[in-house]
Amino acid sequence: MFENFSEMMLELFAASLWETVIMVGASGILGALVGIPLGVFLRLTDKGGILQNAPANTVVGGIVNAVRSTPFIILLVAIIPFTRLVTGTSIGTWAAVVPLTLAAAPFIARLVETALREVDGGLVEAAQSMGATTGQIVWKVLLPEAMPGIVAGLTISFVSLTGYSAMAGAVGGGGLGDLGIRYGYQRFLPDVMLAVVVILIVFVQAIQSLGDWVVRRMSHR
């Protein structure tokens, strides 16, 4: 066993791990930057929200659902023109970040919306009684109170993105999943496949533990 682990193969592993980190990290962060405001918007415009607006909520909610319903492998190829527009290329690691971000944002938006829903309406009422503006209610009350839930949601998102990133090989994005498919499966190197799986388990475990630790630090309930 492990006779296939030449020096070249080890370098390939290192490069693939780095590609996975780039894809998951960049799309997770960009997805959060889009998804968190989107989640706030969905919560505020929802029934009973402080900016209740049924038409806006229905339209944005519908788009979010539509993107979430599209299988990632289809999204990946369907938006290639858009990807080329953004990154100038349709292949490579950064080209994979675009569809990953697009998939992550609505997912994060729904998780953030759920976390915001957990914030007691009484706190919003208290802030209103103090003369808070809508912006202040979002920044001083809703987001800080929901932050443990939001971080827990982001942790789930990063783990999901790790899974999605395995499909990035379809656009030459590389990464550990791609390594496993090309070498482990197509060249029939079971030890490479096993190593890929073990590294991914450790990778996901690390994300989850870090997320849990941050949530514990933040939560004062």
Partner 1 sequence: MIDLRGITQIYQGPQGPVEALRGIDLHVTPGEVFGIIGRSGAGKSSLVRVINLLNRPSAGQVMVAGRDMTQLSDAELRAARREIGMVFQHFNLLSSRTVYGNAALPLELAGMAPDKIKKRVDPLLDMVGLAHLADRYPAQISGGQKQRVGIARALASSPKVLLSDEATSALDPETTRSILDLLRQVNRELGVTVVLITHQMQVIKQIADRVAVIEAGRIVEMGPVIDVFTKPQQDITKSLIDEIVPQELPAGVLSRVRSLAARLEAGASGQLLRLSYAGEHAYEPILSHLIRELGLDLSILHGQIDEIQEQTFGSLAVYASGPMARIGAAIDYLRAQGVVVRTVDVSA
**Residues in the site for partner 1, rule: CB under 8 A?**
120, 122-123, 125-133, 136, 140-141, 144-145, 147, 218, 220-221
CB of 146 to partner 1, least distance (A): 9
Residue 23's closest CA among 85, 128, 115, 98?
Answer: 98
Please, which residue, 144 or 190, has the CB nearer to partner 1? Answer: 144
The alpha carbon dihedral of 202, 207, 210, 212 has a sign of negative
CB of 187 to partner 1, least distance (A): 52
CB of 122 to partner 1, least distance (A): 4
Taking CA 205 as the corner, what is the angle to CA 203 and CA 210, rounded to the nearest 5 degrees? 100
Phi, psi of 161, rounded to the nearest 5 degrees = -65, -35
Please, which residue, 84 or 140, has the CB nearer to partner 1? Answer: 140
By residue count, the chain amounts to 221
Whole-angstrom distance, CA of residue 156 vs CA of residue 154 = 5
Whole-angstrom distance, CA of residue 110 vs CA of residue 151 = 13
Please, which residue, 81 or 131, has the CB nearer to partner 1? Answer: 131
Please, which residue, 78 or 123, has the CB nearer to partner 1? Answer: 123
Whole-angstrom distance, CA of residue 40 vs CA of residue 144 = 12
CB of 219 to partner 1, least distance (A): 8
CB of 130 to partner 1, least distance (A): 4
Please, which residue, 96 or 116, has the CB nearer to partner 1? Answer: 116
Q: How many other CB atoms are found less than 10 A from the CB of residue 206? A: 10
Q: Name every residue whose Cβ is closer than 8 Å to that of residue 3 and which is 6 or more positions away in sequence.
A: 191
Contact 165, 24 (CB under 8 A): yes
Please, which residue, 81 or 135, has the CB nearer to partner 1? Answer: 135
CB of 129 to partner 1, least distance (A): 4
